[in-house]
Structure 1
Amino acid sequence: MNKHLITCLTAILLLFNSCARNPVTGKRELSLMSTEQEIAMGKEADPQIVAQFGLYEDSELQTFIKEKGQQMAAISHRKDLKYEFKVVDSPVVNAFAVPGGYVYFTRGIMAHFNNEAEFAGVLGHEIGHVTARHSARQQSKTMLAQLGLIAGIIAAPQLAQYAEAAQQGLGLLFLKFGRDDERESDRLGVEYSTKIGYDAQEMAGFFNTLSRVGGDQQEAIPDFLSTHPNPADRNRTVKKLATEWQQKVNATDLKVNRDSYLKMIDGIIYGEDPKQGYVENDVFYHPVLKFQFPVPRGWALQNSPQQVQMVPKDGKALMLLMLAPGNSLQAAAESFLQNYQMVPVESKNTTVNGLQAIAVVADQQAQQDQQAQQQQQQPAVRALMYFIEYGGNVYNMMGLTSAADFNTYYPVFNANITSFRQLTDQAKINKKPNRIRIKPVKQSATLSKALTALGAKNDQLKELAVLNGMQLNDKVQQGTLVKVLEQ
């Protein structure tokens, strides 16, 4: 038999064997990922996601999402999975799921819900991504195209290895679902939330809130709207689906639970949490670890529990601050250089604002083929790094760029790194986060007047209208619970 024909027949057989029945549609579809592989991928990604964002410290909210999530998972199309549901500590308005049944809501989106039914609709939507195997489908397409995960690296490709966003677990968050997948998840969100007794009409209303929320492009994950269809279209479609499902299951006394939800999120942190580090007037402050350093003007900053990343608009350089493992400055420096296969060009013992430090300039060679190795080429990356001993920790603060650009960026690297210092300003140390407070309207009026009467400032009114899912000229009755912001 012709070898080419054998190869083609073998490929067809492999593809046929790779077809699996979709749990939601019942149709056979190409899948290069088994259920076991989905579970393994989610299990591997989960600790990376939790480490990147942290869990939000509110036992009531964590219990709430777990209980509602398990209740909904039990009536889903994939009851066999061991689901996990978590609220992560990010201000971005988002919810996302990864293969294997791992579902995450940010505190940012929890702050924007105004009742349990809105939450339940989005919860069903995210579970729908899991039950319909959307992530697995996208992974299969990626594997067929022989492409790696794109994790949203904020700097030049040669610097990517130093940025945590390159990890596979975080890369899963950047898989783009098609509009058909999103519509299917909307449909499943309506179905699942209706089946556990919630009014899915509220899910439609939440899309109005989403359309008014602006996404922060510098955050580590995209906002909810960035990967989803037009909110107005979704609103109309979900309303229609909600009516159909309510008729199908003959639903009565569907839950909204506005007041109970608002009381539960009373005190939730809104926006950035200063204790995790914050930027004010181009200076980064960390109140808990008590250090500060300037941020180069015009550079974007991304903060996570593991490290602080800064990058210029052209993306040709990267500055990082992270803890360096090691029992001493020398051990920390040697360990880092070894782990990243960097060769020191020069090194010296020094001090940074009274703190003991080691300064190192080091190179990392590019991966080269044999022919390229025969030529003398410049190193791919050159770095200025300081290992600074402070507060019982060794901090590694460094600037990286290509060898060709190193002299251009060196003054910026050196000026910012050598400005690392102890934070002593009590006003900066004691800075409080904004928190949502739930208060009853004092007297029937427009939302604008009601919020003003509760102490809201004029420059907060538009933002508070979005948070409350209302317009400023909407009428609110005395006693109605509304959200305000306080420190």
Structure 2
Amino acid sequence: MKKYVITSYLAVVLLLTNSCATNPVTGKRDIMLVSEGQELAMGKESDPQIVASLGLYNDAKLQSFINQKGKAMAAVSHRPDLPYEFKIVDSPVINAFAVPGGYVYFTRGIMAHFNNEAEFAGVLGHEIGHITARHSAQQQSKSMLAQVGLIAGMVVSPQFGQFAEAAQQGLGMLFLKFGRDDERESDRLGVEYSTKIGYDAQEMAGFFHTLEREGEKSGAAEIPNFMSTHPSPGERFETVSKLAADMKQKLNATNLKVNRDSYLRMIDGIIYGEDPKQGFVENNVFYHPVMKFQFPVPTGWAVQNTPQQVQMAPKDGQAMMMLTLAQGTSLQTAAQQLVQNYQLTVLESKEVSVNGLPAFALVAEQQAQQQQQQQQQQQQSPAIRALIYLIQYGGNIYNLMGISTAQNFNSYGNVFASSMQNFRQLTDSEKLNRQPARIRIKPVNQSGTLSQALSTYKARSADMQDLAILNGMELTDRVEKGMLIKVIEH
């Protein structure tokens, strides 16, 4: 037994020794089970899935801007030879993220909240820093080391695992969490890279206050995604301010740019919040103006809408509903494909009509599966049951699926059916023609407070706090005549 333990230990040591690589930022040797080639392959594989899930924001000048600044910054980074790609995705969430291999994404939500190019440059440098320091590759290596344990421990909500995986497959790297040391290192690199291309990194420190205020706005503990695993904003402000001053001195940098007005003019007209053409919820009804359908959402259920699917779930997490497009040219072939993909056992099925639309309804079950536990014990995951409506409309087949455990199905079956049986054509012209809110850039007409300046543009009282955060100011802050500010145009 001792011999086998020693042999296994030596094998692990050999694996780790052969898997060490020099970190391009620190110059130290790191355990790295992912080669640079694999890193590039991961990014290349993830990119089309990310774009399909979130969509690209349709603004050529903004896409050109992020690409131009990204390439300039990549050239002064610790890994200038990577094939970087920079994209703005069509999401209102305030976020920026990177995946291995040089892929960097900013949401239109975070672009709307920057008030100058220097703020943008600091965050851009931060995300490039995650790539150059190989943080995401290190996280992937840790995932590989822990994979056996993860597979053995997949017993949390296993009844929804396969459905969620089918909808989100390949997007796992979006949710890689970085430790605080990694975040601090990326902050330092953001300061270094943005300063090297001529921007004042002090502005990056100020943007943390905007993120903090956005998180506190609703009084909830939630914070924007970009902040979810980062050090506290107060700590980061102090640290980044000092780093910026030190880097400026180290590089003997003078005349560093902020470029407030040029940035604001560039984002004039950017969509703010949800884009109605992608679908929206109002009074517990989901409307999709482009595809021209509507259906009710159960009261109190949260909704997550992406270009690929609409997901809905109650707060207790005991059930979920999902709307996607089904595969197949007919209702019957779509049903067969669905049953095959999810390995379902059909309990009952029938052809039905949903508000004049041809449809096929079925109740199906996915049998319990055995999960091997680390203690070599067998634990059975509960069977799940689904109510599925396949509805043919407008050249598409819509798959509305309601899922719960078989034990809870009777509690949720009527809730599922109520939404599915009320799927219908959208004919309300006001909903069909609903336009998104947009940020408009306006000059201050008369010196005074920000609140007074916004009032001259008839800003709604409900928007005042949002506008203060969007402008990176307090409502009581003084603004001068001619200064550019953001307003929201509904």
TM-score (ref. length: structure 2): 0.93
Residue 347 of structure 1 is matched in structure 2 by 349
Alignment of 1:363-374 (within 5 A): 363-368=365-370
Aligned length: 476
Deviation at 1:459, TM superposition (A): 1.9
Instruction: List alignment gaps of at least 5 residues for structure 2.
Output: 373-379
Residues 2-57 of structure 1, C-alpha deviation per residue, up to 9 Å, x if partnerless? 44333322221211111111000000111111111111111111111111111111
Within the candidate set 419, 441, 449, 2:452 is matched to 449
> What is the deviation of 1:149?
8.1
After TM superposition, give the deviation of residue 394 of structure 1 in Å.
Answer: 0.8
Please say if 1:57 is aligned against 2:65. no
Give the counterpart letter for 1:243 in structure 2.
A
Quote the Cα distance in structure 1 between the aligned partners of 2:186 and 2:105.
15
Residue 146 (structure 1) shift: 2.7
Per-residue deviation at 1:224?
A: 1.3
1:264 partner letter: M
Show the counterpart of 1:271: 273
* CA distance in 2: counterparts of 1:280 and 1:147, whole angstroms: 44
Partner of 1:145: 146
Comparing 161-170 and 228-237, the one that deviates more? 161-170
Match of 2:298 among 291, 296, 299: 296
Residue 182 of structure 1 corresponds to which residue in structure 2? 183
Describe the shift of the 1:443–1:329 C-alpha distance in structure 2 as closer, same or farther (beyond 3 A).
same
Q: Which residue of 2 aligns with 1:130?
A: 131
SS in 1 for 2:30: strand
Provide the rounded CA distance (Å) in 2 between the counterparts of 1:229 and 1:258: 27
What's the counterpart of residue 23 of structure 2? 22
The structure-2 alpha-carbon separation of the partners of 1:190 and 1:349, relative to structure 1 and needing over 3 Å to count, comes to: same
Residue 239 of structure 1: aligned partner: 241
- Once residues 79 and 369 of structure 1 are traced to their aligned partners in structure 2, the CA distance between those partners, rounded to angstroms, is 45
Summarize the Cα distance change of 1:59–1:147 in structure 2 as closer, same or farther, 3 Å threshold.
Answer: farther
| CA-to-aligned-CA distance 1:335-394 (integer Å, 9 cap, x gap) | 111111112111111100111111111111223489xxxxxx997121111111111111
Q: Distance between the aligned counterparts of 1:208 and 1:51, measured in 2?
A: 32
Higher mean C-alpha deviation, range 245-254 or range 105-114: 245-254
| Matches of 1:45 and 1:469, distance apart in 2 | 33
The aligned counterpart of 2:376 is none
Q: For 1:5, what is the secondary structure of its paired residue?
A: helix
Q: Does 1:473 align with 2:462?
A: no
Q: Which amino acid aligns with 1:401?
A: S
Q: Which residue of 2 aligns with 1:373?
A: none
Q: Which amino acid aligns with 1:146?
A: Q
Match of 1:293, SS state, is: strand
Residue 106 of structure 1 is matched in structure 2 by 107
* Contact 2:211 2:224 (8 Å CA) reproduced: no
Give the counterpart letter for 2:424 in structure 1: R
What per-residue deviation string (whole Å, max 9, x for no partner) do you get for residues 261-306 of structure 1?
A: 0000000000011100000010000011111000001111111111
**Residues 1:379 and 1:460: Cα distance change in structure 2 (over 3 Å):** closer
SS of corresponding position for 2:147:
coil
2:36 maps to 35
Conserved? CA contact 1:156–1:317, under 8 Å? no
Alpha carbons 2:371, 2:381 under 8 Å: kept: no
Q: Is the 8 A contact 1:56 1:89 kept in 2?
A: yes
How far, CA to CA, are the matches of 2:238 and 2:76 in structure 1? Answer: 25
Name the structure 1 match of 2:393: 390
Q: State the shift of 1:160 in Å.
A: 2.2
Partner of 1:326: 328
Per-residue CA distance 1:379-424 (angstroms, 9 max, x = gap): 7121111111111111111211111111111110111110101111
Q: For residue 377 of structure 2, what is the aligned residue in structure 1?
A: none
Correspondence 1:459 to 2:449: no
* 2:24–2:132 Cα contact (<8 Å) kept: yes
**Residues 241 and 174 of structure 1: is their aligned pair in 2 closer, same or farther, counting only changes over 3 Å?**
same
Distance 1:10 1:26 in 2: 26
Change (3 A) 1:369 1:144: closer
1:159 aligns with 2:126: no
Please report the TM-score for the alignment, with normalisation by the length of structure 1.
Answer: 0.94
With 263-272 and 171-180 compared, the bigger mean Cα shift is at 171-180
Q: CA deviation at 1:156?
A: 3.3
